[in-house]
Amino acid sequence: MTPVFGHGHLRLYLLKLLDESPKHGYELIQALSERFGGTYAPSAGTIYPRLAKLEDEGLVTKTADGRKTVYEITEAGRAELDSRESELTSIENDLTDSVRRLADEVRSGVGEAMKSLRADLASAARQAREATDATTQSYSSWFAFDPTQDAPGQDAKGDTSSDETRAADETPASADASRDASRDEIRDVDIALAEFRQSVRTALRASGARGAVPSGTAAAFARRLDEVRASLFADLGK
């Protein structure tokens, strides 16, 4: 991802945020995240060293508020802002461009993730169909025997025990029930996948319109899909 702030610009922007009101570190991170519509949020390791430098320069002060440390701009800090007002205006304009660029990057990343998801779903559907075909072929072998040949357990007169006769009568019905149950499960999985895809697309488009899809969403989504796929394959014995 390309840099959001130019050299020294984040430092000046922190002064601007503190000029609006005193804030603790998390509030500054949150304010920046909101400014970027959720597409960018600086880490604590980015914010706190700069606050410490501003304090060393006498541009901000900090006070303890319970377990939080609240930062407040000093008169020297306000004088710094006044002297660099034109530069601050330029930073604001650059931020608008950065928000647009980050939103484009998020959309691109989500688009690639959706392509990968569609490929994974297509592969899973194909494997499910192959498994169903294999099951159907296996069960079809029950009906492929030659009725002119003696079945196991049958003597030359065609006599079988009552237990064997009952088992032979029940096996085709059991095969049909298992096959139908498998098809029902596959149909329900297809329905669930379609509903899942539609709900994800709807949520992403709504968040994308607000520029509120966080960085890393695509990677996290792909990772969780891998976990779901591994769990499903384990259940299927693959």
Domains of the chain: 9-83 (1.10.10.10), 105-138+161-236 (no CATH)
What integer pLDDT is reported at residue 163 of this predicted model? 54
Greater model confidence, 25 or 140? 25
For 1, half-sphere exposure in the C-beta direction (CA atoms, 13 angstrom radius) is 20
Percent of the chain with pLDDT over 90: 21
CA 105 – CA 109 distance, rounded (Å): 6
pTM: 0.40
Percent of the chain with pLDDT over 70: 62
**What is the per-residue pLDDT across 101-160, written as a single tens digit (0 to 9) for each?**
655 555 665 556 566 666 677 666 666 666 666 666 655 555 554 545 554 555 544 454
Mean pLDDT for the chain?
A: 75
CA 237 – CA 230 distance, rounded (Å): 10
Whole-Å CA distances, 126 to 11, 17, 35, 131? 54, 54, 45, 9
Greater model confidence, 238 or 236? 236
Find the distance separating the first CA and the last CA of the chain, reported in whole Å.
38
CA 209 – CA 213 distance, rounded (Å): 9
In the predicted structure, residue 31 carries a pLDDT above the cut 60 = yes
Greater model confidence, 152 or 203? 203
Whole-Å CA distances, 3 to 29, 56, 117? 16, 25, 29
What integer pLDDT is reported at residue 1 of this predicted model? 46
Best-predicted range by mean pLDDT (80-94, 159-173, 196-210)? 80-94
What integer pLDDT is reported at residue 110 of this predicted model? 56
pLDDT band at 27 (very low <50, low <70, confident <90, very high): very high
Q: What are phi and psi of 104, to 5 degrees?
A: -65, -40
In the predicted structure, residue 22 carries a pLDDT above the cut 60 = yes
